[in-house]
Structures are given as structure tokens and as C-alpha cells.
Amino acid sequence: MIAGTEAEMVGRAANKAVEVEGAGGIDSALSALDVSGATNEPTRKALYKAFEERKMVELKSELPGLKMSQYKDKIFSLWKKSPENPANQK
């Protein structure tokens, strides 16, 4: 092993000598992460997906015979105006 001050240490000796505070394993790394900002609110993508599934059933009965892309275009235009859209709740 190489002995000396931290500035003089190189290689494995330097790695062993440095005490690193923080996560030493997966469990401690996960516990070190700050998850206080996480909420149980559904994401925009999940909200849209639920909206799309509900509206798809309605539109298919109201407008049979459209292509899937036409249904999705109509649903997206409804989503932009919908109060369920988080962008419209401000």
C-alpha cells in the first residue's frame, strides 16, 4: 500500500482511504433518494388514457365506420377542451 497524505495517494490506496458518505448499496441508495416530492396523483398520460378509453366507446357508437386515427383525432380535440385535462385546470 502507498502511504502518505491524501494528495500523494494514488490508485487503490486512494480509493480505500477516502471515506464516502452516502449510499453504499442499492438499499441505502434508494433510501438516500429524496422522494418527498412524489405524489399519488395520476400522470397526464394516465389521465389521457382513461379519457381516451371512455370517449372511444362513446364515439364508436355515435360515429361508426371511422378509422382509428379519426377517432383518436376527435378524442384529442375533445381532450384539449376537457376540464379533466390538467392544462385546463389553471
Instruction: Over range 9-17, report the average pLDDT.
Output: 66
Nearest of 79, 25, 18 to residue 50 by alpha carbon: 79
Contact 37, 28 (CB under 8 A): no
Mean pLDDT score across all residues of the chain: 80
**Angle made by CA atoms 9, 14, 20, in degrees to the nearest 5:** 140
Q: Give 3-state DSSP helix, strand, coil % of the chain, rounded to 5.
A: 55, 0, 45
| DSSP state, residue 23 | -
pLDDT score recorded for residue 28: 72
pLDDT score recorded for residue 40: 75
